[in-house]
Amino acid sequence: MQQIINFLIRNKTFLLFLLLFSISLLLTFQSHSYHKSKFINSANFLTGGIYKSVNNIGRYFNLKKENDILLEENNRLKSIFFNTKTNLLKQDNNDSVFSAKYKFKPALVYKNSYSATNNYLTINKGERDSIKQDFGVITSKGIIGIIDNTSKKYARVMSILNTNSRINSQLKKSNHFGTLTWNAESPLLVQLIDIPKLAPVAVGDTIITGGRSTIFPKGIPIGKVVSFKLDETENYYNINVKLFNDMTSVGHVYIIENLDAEEISNLNNPNE
């Protein structure tokens, strides 16, 4: 017993180092698997608060650009609205309008990163605004990511520029679907894998989200095909997709809530 205590005292520095090092390794491993990095994330009152106060100053410098983006989006929505043959306003009594499937909420990005291999964003909406895990996040141009952690006032979004991110997506012109991943090389390009060899892929094709997940509705634009090649098994395409979004500068985003998500997941896991 004496010897053990002596040993502990003699090597206390090394043991402390070992302990702290293993704690940090544990945290690191947790952060590499989706939904497990609970403790260390920027959606808490301290980091969220600091990012908020800095953002309050910084956002004035982007007002002009944000205005342009909003104007562009308004313009697009107006042209859709007034050019549809059936005027939506007259259908107000129709039930299909009221049985909305998706709920949208605007939010502001406080912190964005794109140079690491696992990137996250912090936004200014949290549990207080009934934001939960697994809601989708988009901008007017394309998708951003999925909510992965929430606190009272803030939420953390797992960006599509994250090597753990897997998003169901498909070609716009045919229904061949695959998985959107990122190889950590460029913040402008993401990779679409598992598209079958039979699919008619061409450079310039548009990639959209597939309706197979409960997170994103079908048809949200993602990007354009810039190059593609067959993978090692020669059965599937690996496609490089250039994002419509500039992930290096994101200001305002929309959070999508799928109101049917719970029902669908209950159907798929009847045992729970």
Partner 1 sequence: MNNIISTNIARFIVLVLVQVLVLNNINFLGYINPYIYILFIILFPIKNNRLLFILLSFLLGLTIDLFLDSGGVNAAACVTIAYIRPVILKFVFGTIYEHQTVKFNNTELGQRLTYFSIITVIHHLILFSLEVFNTTKILLILKKTLFSSIFTIILCVLITILFSRKNK
Report the DSSP beta bridge partners of residue 186.
Answer: none
CA distance 153 to 131: 9
Looking at the DSSP assignment, which residues form a beta bridge with residue 11?
none
With binding defined as CB under 8 A, does residue 28 bind partner 1? yes
Helix (H), strand (E), coil (C) string for 234-258: CCEEEEEEEECCCCCCCCEEEEEEE
Number of residues that bind partner 1 (CB under 8 A): 44
Asked if 8 is part of the footprint of partner 1 (rule: CB under 8 A), the reply reads: no
Instruction: Establish if 26 lies at the interface with partner 1 (CB under 8 A).
Output: yes
- With CB under 8 A as the contact rule, the residue among 62, 69, 114, 127 that binds partner 1 is 114
The single residue among 1, 3, 4, 14 that binds partner 1, judged by CB under 8 A, is 14
Helices (H), the chain: 2-10, 12-31, 45-58, 63-83, 95-98, 261-268
Examine residue 20 and tell whether it contacts partner 1 (CB under 8 A): yes
Rounded Cα gap, residues 237 and 214, in angstroms? 25
Q: What are phi and psi of 171, to 5 degrees?
A: -75, 145
Tokens of 160: 């599509």
Q: Going residue by residue from 173 to 212, which x/- string records binding to partner 1, judged by CB under 8 A?
A: -----------xxxx-------------------------
Collect all residues with Cβ–Cβ distance below 8 Å to 133 and sequence separation of at least 6: 35, 147, 148, 149, 150
According to CB under 8 A, which one of 10, 12, 65, 76 is a site residue for partner 1? 12
Minimum gap (Å) between residue 224 Cβ and partner 1: 20
Query: In whole angstroms, how close is the CB of 110 to partner 1 at the nearest point?
Result: 11
Q: How far is the CB of 107 from partner 1 (least distance, A)?
A: 17
Residues lying near partner 1 in the complex (CB under 8 A)? 12-14, 16-17, 20-21, 23-32, 37, 40-42, 44, 46-47, 50-51, 54, 111, 113-120, 122, 156, 163, 184-187, 248
